Amino acid sequence: MAVYTEVSAAEARALLRELKLGELTSLKGCSGGIENTNYFASTELDGQAHDYVLTLFERLTFEQLPFYLKLMKHLAQRGIAVPEPMANAKGALVFDLKGKPAAVVNKLRGKSELAPTAEHCAQVGAMLARMHLAGRDFDLQQPNLRALNWWNDTVPVVLPYLTDSQKALMTQELAYQNHVAAQSSYCALPRGPIHADLFRDNVMFETTDGVPLLTGFFDFYFAGIDTWVFDLAVCLNDWCIDLATGVHKAQLAHCLIAAYVAERPLVAAEYALLPAMLRAGALRFWLSRLWDFYLPREASVLQAHDPSHFERVLRHRSTDVLSFDELVQHV
């Protein structure tokens, strides 16, 4: 989240009134993340306080946005804890605010857990599997816009900024991922809507008497149709990684995978290609962070992510395949 487009209180108030969400009581720009303009908006309606997230989409178009919002509606209707997009009297979910597509969703309870335990990971794994199953009958189609095609287009853009060692890693990994994607086993992988960005800061928990409870997944604006095992790999690359070193945490990974397969068992090809998808997930986020770091957009509130983190993760993932294979064999 960031603020690229300034929204006044009057502009936000008018949209919230159109959605019949009450009177605006506060509006605050969000600094986390880097893709869209986000504000926390609080309202009062019939004496009750309500909290929402107002988002202006800086890259997604009016034509692309319904996929994400309707997917969130679809998942919420099937019991998956996600923010619900707010509709106006005509049922519209997408609005024009300062010439950009905008949406309002309810704000989830709780806070992100940035130092997850085995219990946090298990709850994420179980909910991720249920989310994948709930999306099977979602009828809209849109590819993962940050998948292989984007990697092939973007690698040449960032290569001039890299050291020789980084260039070698980047080009070798991209060639490997193109090789994997051409295999028949990859093309046959189960797929459907994926979150594609389910990091620690995109999940909320409430804790009571020391016991955590997952209250929701949010920020679906990288979602698309892709392989479910890639989505699982993206989670493992964040929830089950030491943030300081990029080293794999086997116990946390075991808990997350075990909870996932208890809800949706993996097929043989998913086990076989999971190490490759871990590398793919690391490449995807190293590449996007390099792109955002060296080719930034102007924003009044912005916290850029460190690209070197996923470089470290990728280096570990490309050399630690055996230990991960040993882990998943015992799930």
Q: How big is the CA angle at 215 (ends 210 and 219), to the nearest 5 degrees?
A: 130
Q: Where in the chain is the domain with CATH 3.30.200.20?
A: 9-106
Other residues' Cβ atoms within 10 Å of the Cβ of residue 304: 13
pTM beyond 0.75: yes
Contact (Cβ atoms closer than 8 angstroms) between residue 56 and residue 5: yes
Query: Structurally, what CATH architecture does the domain formed by 9-106 represent?
Result: 2-Layer Sandwich (3.30)
Q: pLDDT confidence of 4, banded at 50, 70, 90? A: confident
pLDDT in tens, 28-47: 998 755 689 999 999 999 99
Average pLDDT over all residues of the chain: 93
Hey, CA dihedral for 77, 83, 89, 94, is it positive or negative?
A: negative
For 118-328, CATH number out of 1.20.140.10, 3.90.1200.10, 2.120.10.30, 3.40.190.10 equals 3.90.1200.10
Which segments within the chain are labelled E, that is strand?
23-29, 37-45, 48-56, 95-97, 100-106, 191-194, 203-208, 211-217, 224-227
Mean pLDDT to the nearest integer, 204-212? 95
Collect all residues with Cβ–Cβ distance below 8 Å to 163 and sequence separation of at least 6: none
Q: Where in the chain is the domain with CATH 3.90.1200.10?
A: 118-328
Residue 249's region, left for phi above 0, alpha for psi from -120 to 50, else beta, is beta
